[in-house]
């Protein structure tokens, strides 16, 4: 019996709790400046406070709180990747996500649904089997299943052979989940803000002060601040900000679009992805079908939406769920994805001393929010890149040690 709730409800006063600290002027100096107040930047601030006791932090964002890709993703959380490096990394993230609402006392509406990556070709079946075996070897729950079991677990799916690409099997990942993406950012921000971290929105970084190869200050549209260390976490603007610091990245900025339908009665419990059909769908707790597909066919610094995207996506979606033919879309949007050559992130040290980077998150960033925050906080606090992040260092492109996750990261192929 929730007595506390009852007492609260019967009380004559309803104390409102401010989520985030009031906006203040910038101080002259901070120990750590985080550029980008999205999920990753705010998570890094949280873990810097919680794990390392560092609170003299400013998180800057040129826009509103977590208004970039954190606000625009389709909120899928999973660890069924292809490479051992990738699987270990995303598995730590899923484990952190599972306890997150409790840990920072903010409901992120974490909903375990089961994730199905449908295979429509022999090659896809082979890759699914490969991923299942790598996952199992590393303790991640994934299994290759066949049409009979898919039909049993996903009764809404069209399993008929009378389509262009019949379903041959699927990589089934039971821990696959969705969460409220905004709540993840707000939960991290609230905890950090309560403990002294300053969050400055509408504060754009216009340059860096670099002396003898080390960053010592940050120029913003509200003045200059001195800093001990900088963490860049600005998906969509990674190349632009790194250019201000004098180095380039192996990143191309390409829009990723998504859309939602009108709310429908719950009929789809699962998260369905099809690499061959370039579509994925889940049903939110409001009943909306949240749908996405591949990235746009060329680079663009814009979040505009297109008719081409809808046509391509929905044509294939109707192959999987034909009864949606008369359902209307209610909203369409896009984010700007940092696409890397190997579909893995770029994290860790940069050519500038005390300047750390968390970028290259392409279409795979939301699920990694907790592990990024935790491990980038560790990197910033200790100055050393932990073993878990070593595979994702910027240097890997010069050492020809890429972490190829194209098959597992997205449907853009």
Partner 1 sequence: MKIMNCPLNGPRNISEFVWGGEVKAMPSGTEVSPRDWADYVFIENNIAGVVREWWCHVPTSFWFIAERNTVTDEIIRTYPASEVFNRRVEFAAPAKGETK
As given in the structure block, the two tokens for residue 211 are 């002396």
- Helix/strand/coil for 47: helix
Name which of 3 and 298 has its Cβ closer to partner 1: 298
Q: Looking at 8, 64, 301, 323, which residue binds partner 1 (CB under 8 A)? A: 301
In whole angstroms, how close is the CB of 247 to partner 1 at the nearest point? 9
Cβ atoms within 10 Å, residue 330? 12
Distance CA 39, CA 44 (A): 9
User: Of 371, 301, 287, 339, which is closest to residue 79 (Cα–Cα)?
Assistant: 371
Please tell me whether residue 249 binds partner 1 under the rule CB under 8 A. Answer: yes
Please tell me whether residue 241 binds partner 1 under the rule CB under 8 A. Answer: no
Helix axes 84-98, 122-137, angle to 10 degrees: 70
Please tell me whether residue 331 binds partner 1 under the rule CB under 8 A. Answer: no
Name which of 221 and 382 has its Cβ closer to partner 1: 221
Name which of 245 and 273 has its Cβ closer to partner 1: 245
């878990």: which residue's tokens?
388
Please tell me whether residue 298 binds partner 1 under the rule CB under 8 A. Answer: yes
As given in the structure block, the two tokens for residue 268 are 């789809």
């409800």: which residue's tokens?
9
Please tell me whether residue 359 binds partner 1 under the rule CB under 8 A. Answer: no
In whole angstroms, how close is the CB of 248 to partner 1 at the nearest point? 5
Q: Looking at 302, 315, 323, 331, which residue binds partner 1 (CB under 8 A)? A: 302
Q: What are the angstrom distances between the C-alpha of 304 and each of 241, 256, 300?
A: 22, 10, 9
From residue 361 to residue 400, the character string flagging contacts with partner 1 as x (rule: CB under 8 A) and all else as - is: ------------------------------------xx-x
Interface stretch with partner 1, choices 165-173, 188-196, 244-252, 282-290 (CB under 8 A) = 244-252
Q: Looking at 26, 199, 205, 251, which residue binds partner 1 (CB under 8 A)? A: 251
Q: Looking at 126, 304, 331, 413, which residue binds partner 1 (CB under 8 A)? A: 304
Please tell me whether residue 119 binds partner 1 under the rule CB under 8 A. Answer: no
Please tell me whether residue 239 binds partner 1 under the rule CB under 8 A. Answer: yes
Please tell me whether residue 413 binds partner 1 under the rule CB under 8 A. Answer: no
User: Of 357, 238, 361, 372, which is closest to residue 295 (Cα–Cα)?
Assistant: 361
Please tell me whether residue 308 binds partner 1 under the rule CB under 8 A. Answer: yes
Q: Looking at 196, 341, 351, 383, which residue binds partner 1 (CB under 8 A)? A: 341
Alpha helix ranges (H) inside 165-216:
181-194
Question: What secondary structure does DSSP assign to 266-326, as a single string?
Answer: S---SEEEETTTTEEEEE-TTSPEEEEEEEPSS--S-----HHHHHHHHHHHHHH-GGGTT
In whole angstroms, how close is the CB of 385 to partner 1 at the nearest point? 19
Please tell me whether residue 252 binds partner 1 under the rule CB under 8 A. Answer: yes
- Indicate the burial class of 167 (C-beta count within 10 angstroms; 0-12, 13-18, 19 or more): buried
DSSP-assigned beta bridge partners for residue 205: 220
Which residue ranges make up the site for partner 1 (CB under 8 A)? 239-240, 243, 248-253, 297-302, 304, 306-308, 341, 397-398, 400
């Amino acid at each position: 019996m929730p007595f506390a709730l009852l007492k609260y409800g019967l009380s004559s006063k309803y104390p409102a709790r401010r989520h985030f600290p009031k906006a203040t002027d910038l101080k002259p100096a901070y120990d750590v400046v985080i550029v980008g107040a999205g999920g990753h930047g705010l998570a890094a601030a949280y873990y810097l406070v919680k794990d390392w006791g560092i609170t003299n932090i400013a998180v800057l964002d040129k826009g509103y709180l977590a208004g970039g890709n954190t606000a625009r993703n389709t909120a899928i959380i999973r660890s069924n990747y292809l490479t051992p490096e990738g699987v270990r990394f995303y598995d730590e993230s899923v484990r952190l996500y599972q306890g997150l609402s409790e840990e920072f006392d903010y409901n992120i509406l974490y909903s375990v649904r089961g994730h199905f990556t449908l295979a429509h070709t022999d090659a896809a079946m082979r890759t699914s089997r490969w991923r299942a075996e790598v996952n199992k070897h590393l303790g991640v729950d994934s299994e290759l299943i066949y049409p009979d079991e898919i039909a049993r677990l996903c009764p809404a799916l069209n399993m008929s052979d009378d389509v262009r690409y019949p379903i041959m099997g699927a990589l089934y990942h039971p821990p696959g989940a969705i969460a409220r993406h905004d709540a993840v950012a707000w939960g991290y921000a609230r905890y950090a803000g309560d403990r002294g971290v300053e969050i400055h929105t509408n504060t754009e970084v216009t340059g860096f002060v670099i002396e003898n190869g080390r960053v010592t200050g940050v120029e913003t549209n509200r003045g200059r601040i001195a800093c001990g260390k900088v963490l860049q976490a600005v998906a969509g603007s990674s190349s632009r900000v790194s250019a201000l610091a004098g180095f380039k990245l192996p990143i191309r900025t390409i829009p990723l679009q998504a859309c939602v339908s009108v709310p429908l009665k719950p009929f789809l419990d699962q998260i369905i992805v099809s690499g061959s059909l370039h579509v994925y769908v889940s049903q939110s707790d409001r009943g909306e079908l949240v749908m996405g597909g591949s990235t746009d066919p060329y680079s663009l610094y814009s979040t505009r939406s297109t008719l081409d995207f809808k046509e391509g996506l929905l044509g294939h979606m109707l192959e999987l769920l034909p009864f949606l033919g008369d359902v209307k879309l209610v909203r369409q949007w896009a984010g700007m994805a940092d696409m890397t050559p190997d579909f893995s992130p770029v994290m860790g040290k940069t050519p500038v001393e005390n300047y750390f980077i968390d970028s290259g998150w392409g279409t795979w960033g939301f699920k990694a929010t907790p592990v990024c925050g935790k491990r980038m906080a560790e990197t910033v606090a200790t100055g050393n890149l932990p073993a878990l992040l070593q595979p994702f260092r910027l240097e890997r492109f010069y050492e020809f040690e890429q972490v190829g996750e194209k098959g597992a990261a997205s449907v853009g192929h």
